[in-house]
Amino acid sequence: MPWKAIADPYRIWLSEIILQQTRVEQGLPYFERFVAAYPTVKDLAAARDEEVMKLWEGLGYYSRARNLLKAARMVATEYGGNFPDTDTGLRALPGVGPYTAAAIASFAFGQQVAVLDGNVFRILARFYNDLTPIDTGKGRKHYQKLVDMALGDASAKLFNQAIMDFGAMVCTPKRTRCSSCPLAERCGAYAAGTVGDLPLKEKKLKRRTRYFHFLVLADGEGRTIIEQRSGKDIWQGLYQFPLIETEQPNVETAALASQQDWPEWLPATALGFVRRSAPAKHQLTHQTIITVFHHFTWAEMISKIKGKTILKHNLLKNHAFPRVITRYLEEKSLLLDLF
DNA sequence: AAGACGGGGGG
DNA sequence: CCCCCAGTCTT
């Protein structure tokens, strides 16, 4: 890790938040952008929400970005710019759970606490050939006890770093490096031939499919309309083109106007249909989203709509969008003849 | 205890 | 296509 040698609690915290459920290669560019934009926690605390969301754009799990800013402001105002230096104190920060608190406490403050993350679950389950599922309350307690025993009196800072490196490089989820593993001789799963089956999980993933129709509106002067997502759904705080969601696939563009959630401010009769995109599929962890972009001209676009943002299309880049949208915008040529 | 929450990469 | 990733929060 580039930040491995760094003792700055701010950077350790920032990197740990970014790396939650995220691969190092994916998170690293974001870490560098954040450090460049906000060298200290006070700089981050002073940032605008929209600016932080924009920097986080594309990384996913956007509650992390919202909590990041909340926590930074908490540290800046309530703690005088200094992070809490204990596991318990760190847990009070939004977005800091058991793993992240232990990581920061050990790496930044030398506290004697063991981390329990995906790597550690995997290594322990395999080494002890342990069939206890990792995704239950009981399982977490069980493995926490095991890792606490494994840590013993060793330096938590070194142990935590070592066990996670070991999980990232040797005892990996797939294509394990058992042939060069220094623990292979003592590994229960290796002896039993169960390495590929561990760790066990109890719950299976449920998925639902949704059909999103985005309305890309253009007046004669290069303007379009976007809205900010709110509520409890995905992509909270991000922007999107006005959205109609349908229960069924293959809905005609003309039929959208009679949908429940057709915007009340948008007179369907004033729109000129230009084109619709082919359906595109986007796989999220719990949702499969099929998107269709419908292009319209709206010659007499009204200039103020409550809760909506009307802007020149070349300024779209200043707002944070879900990948579904940015990916579509990257195919710039599709928009050229519209605006 | 369940469910929700993104996006990318590997097999 | 399915699983996993230096997990956390809400219900």
The reply to whether A142 Cβ lies less than 7 angstroms from strand B is no
**CB within 8 Å of A279: residues ≥ 6 apart:** A249, A250, A290, A291, A292
Q: From residues 99-138 of A, which are strand B contacts by CB within 7 A? A: 136-138
The reply to whether A320 Cβ lies less than 7 angstroms from strand C is no
pLDDT of residue A332: 66
pLDDT of residue A285: 87
Domains and CATH numbers, chain A: 1-113 (1.10.340.30), 115-154+161-204 (1.10.1670.10), 208-336 (3.90.79.10)
Residue A71 CA to B2 C1' — how many Å?
Answer: 26
Q: Which residues of A are catalytic?
A: 16
Nearest Cα residue to A57 out of A330, A305, A336, A334: A330
pLDDT by 10s per residue, chain A, length 339: 555 567 899 999 999 999 999 999 999 999 999 999 999 999 999 999 999 999 999 999 999 999 999 999 999 999 999 999 999 999 999 999 999 999 999 999 999 999 999 999 999 999 999 999 999 999 999 999 999 999 999 999 999 999 999 999 999 999 999 999 999 999 999 999 999 999 999 887 788 899 999 999 999 899 999 999 988 899 999 999 999 999 998 899 999 999 989 999 999 999 999 999 999 999 998 899 999 999 999 998 788 899 999 999 989 999 999 999 999 998 766 666 677
The reply to whether A307 Cβ lies less than 7 angstroms from strand B is no
Residue A100 CA to B1 C1' — how many Å?
Answer: 22
Residue A208 CA to C11 C1' — how many Å?
Answer: 19
pLDDT of residue A207: 84
The reply to whether A101 Cβ lies less than 7 angstroms from strand C is yes
Q: From residues 225-264 of A, which are strand C contacts by CB within 7 A? A: 232
Q: Which residues pair with A214 in a beta bridge?
A: A243, A293
Which residue has 């639902």 as its token pair? Answer: A208
The reply to whether A330 Cβ lies less than 7 angstroms from strand B is no
Q: How far is CA A229 from the centre of its chain?
A: 16
Cα A129 from Cα A199, distance rounded (Å): 9
Residue A208 CA to B5 C1' — how many Å?
Answer: 14
The reply to whether A232 Cβ lies less than 7 angstroms from strand B is yes
* Interaxial angle between packed helices A98-109 and A9-18, expressed in degrees from 0 to 180 and rounded to the nearest 10: 150
